[in-house]
Structure 1
Amino acid sequence: MKIDKSIYPYILREIVWPRRSLVFFGMLLIIIGKLAALVTPWASKRLLDDVFPEKNQQLLTELIIYVIIAVLIQSITSFLLTRLLSVEAQCMITNMRIKVQKRVLSQPSKFFDRHSSGELVSRIMTDVAGIKNIVGTGLVQLAGGFVTAVFSIAILLTISVKLTLYSLIPLILFVYLTLKGYKIIHPFYIDKSKILASISSRLVESINGIRVIKSYNTEEHEVEVFEEGAMRLFENIKKTLTASALVTSSGSLLMGIATVFIFGVGGSMVIKGGITLGDFVSFSLYLSFMISPIIQMSTIGTKMTEALAGLIRTREFLQKKSEQEDEERSMNLPEIQGSFEIKNINFAYNKNIPILKNINFSVPQGSVTAFVGPSGSGKSTLVNLIATFNKIQTGDIILDHKYHLNKIHLNNYRKNLGVVLQDDFLFDGTISENILYSKPEASFLELQNAVKSAFVDEFTDRFKYGLDTVIGQNGMKLSGGQKQRISIARAILKNPKILILDEATSNLDVKSENFIKKSLENLMKNKTTFIIAHRLTTIEKADQILFIEDGEIKERGTHEELIAKKGKYYQMYNYQSRM
């Protein structure tokens, strides 16, 4: 797998350039630090060639002062470099995570059908983390190491051209092998991100579905599935470490060979008087200053390769358009009334398998429309179109006789929408926090009214902490009926113009259902309501009932009219009545 070359201008434009002042300052610090480090080889030459032969105490004192100052400069620049760039890198990671999470949440519903929650968590948290090696000390050290190597080569050439050329031959070979090695390593990091996302996804699912796992006694199966993923990750990391180790060890080998040549050739030159002992020692030290950053650059390069893999995957998400960026959806709604005209709607998730076929009906303002029919008939798909969770493919939905649903800005439309699903989601927090989710700025009186209207207080009054009771992930500490009432209270609090109820009373016992029926009747007053119902007794008062089968409206009318027709609705109603 080749590296996408477009990632480099993206890094420069989006990551480095906005932080150019900090990056340039970091490079300045590392150059100052590296230049200060060059004092020690210079002082070593003076020590051997001038101080010892001449027994010059004053020069020795001066050299010691120079070395102390150089060490202090190195320490200060190292601290500032790490402090400034590491903090900025973490700041960038935080901002990038927020940016990616925001982009993920802005995607249409079909996006979440294709990506599991574990994969998305991995993209947001893990892939982004490696970026610290780009803006952190990694990029600056890479540049600083290059500058140091150039400086060192220049100084080495002034000491001995012959020795310098001997040292450059293995160095050039090492750089060539390193670049080849990175091309091998990069696909491993891409695969690592994918494997990690897959493992995370399964892990999240197994934890969320722990009751199903335990009820079917399949813990061993889940362990095997996780073990298989963990081993795939291990094999990937093993290949990555092996390739990285080969690059590093080849560098050490080549540099070792260079050192042997330098010792042999340099030692011979000292014996023959071609260079002084001080020249030889300082050359060896300067050589280490040339070699060390290059070896270090190979290590940093490995981390940069991993960062690139994560950034490529992160950019995939950032480049996705949000559903709010649909150029068709530019219309902002005024105060709406709530009437609908559904015209010639056809819809298919797969082109060869139509879900809805030529759906036509009208919904007056403030009326109640119920959808019934067998499972898989298209009821939920139709409701998802009305809720704008899916986009209309062919046909039209017109609001208030003039606003085309595909052209209305989503946020502007959804502020008028309230939804209560069959398995509505609750967050890990208190009961009051979950109800207030639909309207965080609501007053305490509004909250209390919603609680009473949905009969939430019927069970919270028995709890020690009342509305401040923490309910656990997805309300795991509550019964199905209690969770449903909290969801209904959340919709009541929002007080929307358009209401969608998907089996809103399905999880309630008879006593709770009677309470909720009364609260829903109050909630639905003056609101355009769409109901998906399997229990037909809950929709007897609906203004119109549409019986949908195989994606088509087979029957329509009020409860009384459909009973009188003695068709499919009548058969379903009689069947349920006998149960």
Structure 2
Amino acid sequence: MKFFDVLPQLAENELLKRGVMTDELLYCVKADLDGEGGYVDVYITFTKDTLCILRGYEEYGKMKRGQKRKNLVSFTVSGYDEYPIDSIEEMYVDRYANSARLMIKDKSGKEFPIARFSLGFADKFEKFSQRVNCTAKNEPIDDRLLEGVKTHCPTCGEPYPDPNRPVCPRCVDRRSVFKRLLSMFGEFKGAVFLILLTIVLSNVFAVLSPIFGSQMLYDDVLAENGKYYGKILMIVMLIVGINIAGMIMRIISGIITSKVVPVVTHRLRVKIFSSMQRLSLDFFTSKQTGSLMSRVDRDSQNIYWFFTDIVPYGLTNVVKIVGIAVIMLTISPLLSLGIILTISVIEIVQHQFYKSQRKLYRKYDVAMRSANSVLSDVMNGQRVVKAFAREDREIERYRVKNTDAFLINSRINSRIANTIPVIWTFYRIVNKLVFCLGAVLVIKGHILFGALSALISYTEMAMDPINFFTWIGDRWAKCMDAASRMFEIMDALPTVKEDEHPVHMENTRGDIELKNVSFEYEAGHPIIKNVSFKVQAGHMFGIVGKTGAGKSTIINLMARLYDVTGGEITIDGVPIRKIAFDDLRRNIGIVSQETFLFIGSIADNIRYANPDATMEEVIEAAKSANAHEFITKLPEGYNTKVGEGGISLSGGEKQRISIARAIIQKPNILILDEATASMDTRTERKIQAAIDNLKQGRTIISIAHRLSTLRDADMLCVIENGELKEMGTHDKLIKEKGKYFELYKLQSEALQFINE
């Protein structure tokens, strides 16, 4: 069985009781609502002959903390239905405000619901219903879009918090993530060994310090019957020597760490960035830019601080707490056990306090993100805010969000102010009680004063490791989550993959053919539907249609920025899936309606498509794109800096540079996606003249909002709702008085009205 949801064994047993051959089941999906909107478990699955709907209630045994959710103990059936697949005319999803229904239309035309579910599961049911429909019509099922798609954790069964990131925070194996991080230090084994050795030695010296500074000083040097009575200089030099040795070890450890960790972090960042460049376009369109930047920047920074701060201090505190416990038990087992038990109680109380605080910290993070979202929204939309005089409204909106964060933060600080002093006061009382009890033992001769002084020093020294271990768990989890996010990118596979044995085409003629091409960004939502047409080499082919018709999607498929979900696209008779990426990209130039200039000079931006181009070729491309004239008027001409921190260019100027960038690539196929949309009529005419000069020997695919710019195209097609409605020359389509005629007439009337 494939995809969507797992069918539990007990539910599968119930199907077996009803004669369903479970080994023949194709797909399974789970709904969560009954007909009245109450919660119930509904498993919908099918074979090539029968659709089965099993309703019931799952019951689980009691789970201990950290136990995996595998102990399903019973499934109580409340209903069961089945329908022959060949009786289904269509299955579809009927959406409402907060929920949706899975509907069936049978051969007689009767429509009825078979399940309800929360609206968040609608996309999953769209994909499921599409596969039922294909099975009912004996059509092939294409599961390429579903490869790797997972909505629920296979271990605990819970849905992933982020559908675009199949990582379960409950079940992520942070130990394996940590091991993988450590493996990145493989070539620095010697340096890592030195770091660990120096950390251990520095803490051994630190733990030994009270022995010499307290016990040995008072009991052996200052006491008349002491072993080293009167040798003050010796003990002072010994204490100084131990401190200097510890300092040297810490310096060595810091120097090595500061050299090794930045190198590993640098390589990690580069590896993440290179992994991103390897991925397909749909990876970037499905994620927020800020989230991706955070993975490269903030997450890698968290890893850096983890290895420079957390790991060294963690090892430091482990060595320190073990050394302190051993030495204290050696000095006075009875008194030391009392101290250790008391400190353990303090540690447990403090740990529980910080654990309860984490919930508030998470709420505070959510509130701050909400406030920052408003801030970012308003900063980016200042022109709209001022145009509609909504400053006061936005101030109030931000004030409300910020107040929420303020109240949570006040509660956090109030709890800290009320609790931490109590904990520390209790600790001080314990310290004094230790001193008093120790004094009694000194008076009775059970221990010496120096030993008591050392015990008190160790009691105070133990508080740093204890404080560290109270919050290290949260920091550890955050760092491992950051690492898992980075590894997710590094391990991700592109959806658009180069063929294992690609066909190399250094130069193409430019013949393009679409054969029954279909495409959907999400399964169940087709954007392009069975589109077929041919473009002859050296011809200009225009694609027209209303906004959202699917024009830009078609050219993205031609350039193989996405893979078709049905049908095939060929260039010179070769399927584009088989053409080598380098050859495909070199032979196809794209000028998009969304212009983007990189930080750098204008010449560098034009040369981006052909880094080896000479300055003469850059200027020639700029002239062809009608950009040379305005570039030469800039302060530094072609060396003028653009992008962030550079000179500001108009939309039309940016577009002309973008066209020049495509021209210098010298592609055999040039795609223009609303390439003249940002230009005035005068500039547009000049660009059209330049495009006419470029037509010779090139295949031009052009999308234009102004239909007048496509009058001279060799062939035009009209796309509507992802379907090919009309195709022919301008004159032919005008004579037919169809969709193209309506669009052309509408624009002509609008222009006539403007001229009047």
TM-score normalised by L of structure 2: 0.69
**Distance 1:320-1:572 versus aligned 2 partners, 3 A rule:** same
- Name 2:173's counterpart in structure 1: 6
- Name 2:550's counterpart in structure 1: 378
The 1-side partners of 2:478 and 2:405 are apart by 15
- Name 1:534's counterpart in structure 2: 705
Which structure's residues are more often strand, by fraction?
Answer: 2
- Name 1:485's counterpart in structure 2: 656
Contact 1:346/1:358 (CA < 8 Å) preserved in 2?
yes
- Name 1:555's counterpart in structure 2: 726
Contact 1:329/1:410 (CA < 8 Å) preserved in 2?
no
The 2-side partners of 1:382 and 1:345 are apart by 9
Matches for 1:561-572 after TM superposition, within 5 Å: 561-572=732-743
**Distance 1:16-1:254 versus aligned 2 partners, 3 A rule:** farther
**Distance 1:470-1:46 versus aligned 2 partners, 3 A rule:** same
Name the aligned partner's letter for residue 163 of structure 1. L
- Name 1:365's counterpart in structure 2: 537
**Distance 1:476-1:61 versus aligned 2 partners, 3 A rule:** closer
- Give 2:511's match in structure 1, choosing from 339, 347, 366: 339
Structure 1 residue 531: Cα displacement: 0.9
The 2-side partners of 1:196 and 1:411 are apart by 45
Structure 1 residue 317: Cα displacement: 3.6
- Name 2:269's counterpart in structure 1: 97
Matched, 1:518 2:684: no
Please list every run of 5 or more consecutive structure 1 residues that lacks an aligned counterpart in the other structure. none
Name the aligned partner's letter for residue 619 of structure 2. Q
**Distance 1:299-1:63 versus aligned 2 partners, 3 A rule:** farther
The 2-side partners of 1:407 and 1:207 are apart by 46
Matches for 1:213-224 after TM superposition, within 5 Å: 213-220=385-392, 223=395
- Name 1:171's counterpart in structure 2: 343
SS at the partner of 1:51? helix
The 1-side partners of 2:739 and 2:374 are apart by 42
Structure 1 residue 33: Cα displacement: 1.2
Matched, 1:36 2:208: no
Structure 1 residue 128: Cα displacement: 2.9
Structure 1 residue 229: Cα displacement: 5.6
The 2-side partners of 1:93 and 1:241 are apart by 34
The 1-side partners of 2:711 and 2:468 are apart by 76
The 1-side partners of 2:651 and 2:207 are apart by 72
- Name 1:504's counterpart in structure 2: 675
Structure 1 residue 58: Cα displacement: 5.7
The 1-side partners of 2:412 and 2:176 are apart by 26
The 1-side partners of 2:504 and 2:362 are apart by 45
- Name 2:5's counterpart in structure 1: none
Structure 1 residue 372: Cα displacement: 0.7
Structure 1 residue 490: Cα displacement: 0.9
SS at the partner of 2:569? strand
The 2-side partners of 1:193 and 1:407 are apart by 48
Structure 1 residue 218: Cα displacement: 4.2
Please provide the CA RMSD for this pair.
Answer: 3.4
Structure 1 residue 189: Cα displacement: 7.0
Name the aligned partner's letter for residue 462 of structure 2. M
What whole-Å deviation, never above 9, does each CA across 1:282-317 have from its counterpart, x for those lacking one?
222233333432323435555434423433444444
The 1-side partners of 2:414 and 2:279 are apart by 39
Structure 1 residue 371: Cα displacement: 0.5
Is the deviation greater in 522-531 or in 163-172?
Answer: 522-531
Structure 1 residue 180: Cα displacement: 5.3
What whole-Å deviation, never above 9, does each CA across 1:36-62 have from its counterpart, x for those lacking one?
223431222222122223396762111
Structure 1 residue 385: Cα displacement: 1.4
SS at the partner of 1:355? strand
SS at the partner of 1:521? helix
Is the deviation greater in 550-559 or in 427-436?
Answer: 427-436
Name the aligned partner's letter for residue 273 of structure 2. Q
What whole-Å deviation, never above 9, does each CA across 1:251-300 have from its counterpart, x for those lacking one?
64664454234223211111111111111112222333334323234355
Name the aligned partner's letter for residue 66 of structure 1. L
- Give 1:111's match in structure 2, choosing from 283, 288, 291: 283
Please list every run of 5 or more consecutive structure 2 residues that lacks an aligned counterpart in the other structure. 1-167, 752-756
Contact 1:471/1:477 (CA < 8 Å) preserved in 2?
yes
**Distance 1:498-1:198 versus aligned 2 partners, 3 A rule:** farther
- Name 2:747's counterpart in structure 1: 576
The 2-side partners of 1:139 and 1:23 are apart by 11
The 2-side partners of 1:434 and 1:36 are apart by 59
The 2-side partners of 1:408 and 1:196 are apart by 48
What whole-Å deviation, never above 9, does each CA across 1:410-463 have from its counterpart, x for those lacking one?
455223221111231223443223222222332212111112211212112222
Contact 2:207/2:320 (CA < 8 Å) preserved in 1?
no
Structure 1 residue 395: Cα displacement: 1.2
SS at the partner of 2:563? coil
The 1-side partners of 2:322 and 2:420 are apart by 21
Which structure's residues are more often helix, by fraction?
Answer: 1
Contact 1:195/1:232 (CA < 8 Å) preserved in 2?
yes
Identity %: 31
Name the aligned partner's letter for residue 716 of structure 2. I
Matched, 1:85 2:252: no
Structure 1 residue 487: Cα displacement: 1.0
Contact 2:498/2:580 (CA < 8 Å) preserved in 1?
no
- Name 2:325's counterpart in structure 1: 153
**Distance 1:212-1:97 versus aligned 2 partners, 3 A rule:** farther
Contact 1:363/1:369 (CA < 8 Å) preserved in 2?
yes
Q: Which has the higher contact order (CA 8 A, sep 6+)?
A: 1
Name the aligned partner's letter for residue 10 of structure 1. V
**Distance 1:240-1:313 versus aligned 2 partners, 3 A rule:** farther
Structure 1 residue 73: Cα displacement: 1.6
The count of aligned residue pairs is 577
TM-score normalised by L of structure 1: 0.88
- Name 1:138's counterpart in structure 2: 310
- Give 1:49's match in structure 2, choosing from 219, 230, 245: 219
Name the aligned partner's letter for residue 50 of structure 1. D
The 1-side partners of 2:276 and 2:674 are apart by 28
Is the deviation greater in 375-384 or in 219-228?
Answer: 219-228
- Give 2:194's match in structure 1, choosing from 8, 19, 25: 25
The 2-side partners of 1:236 and 1:328 are apart by 54
What whole-Å deviation, never above 9, does each CA across 1:197-239 have from its counterpart, x for those lacking one?
7766666665555444443444555555555665566667667
Is the deviation greater in 441-450 or in 326-335?
Answer: 326-335
Contact 1:119/1:201 (CA < 8 Å) preserved in 2?
no
What whole-Å deviation, never above 9, does each CA across 1:470-496 have from its counterpart, x for those lacking one?
344498822222121111111111112
**Distance 1:116-1:511 versus aligned 2 partners, 3 A rule:** same
SS at the partner of 1:500? strand
**Distance 1:457-1:218 versus aligned 2 partners, 3 A rule:** farther
- Name 1:64's counterpart in structure 2: 236
Name the aligned partner's letter for residue 177 of structure 2. Y
SS at the partner of 1:553? strand
Structure 1 residue 544: Cα displacement: 1.2
**Distance 1:554-1:468 versus aligned 2 partners, 3 A rule:** same
Contact 2:671/2:702 (CA < 8 Å) preserved in 1?
yes
- Name 1:457's counterpart in structure 2: 628
**Distance 1:386-1:559 versus aligned 2 partners, 3 A rule:** same
Matches for 1:266-415 after TM superposition, within 5 Å: 266-323=438-495, 326=497, 331-335=502-506, 336-402=508-574, 404-415=575-586
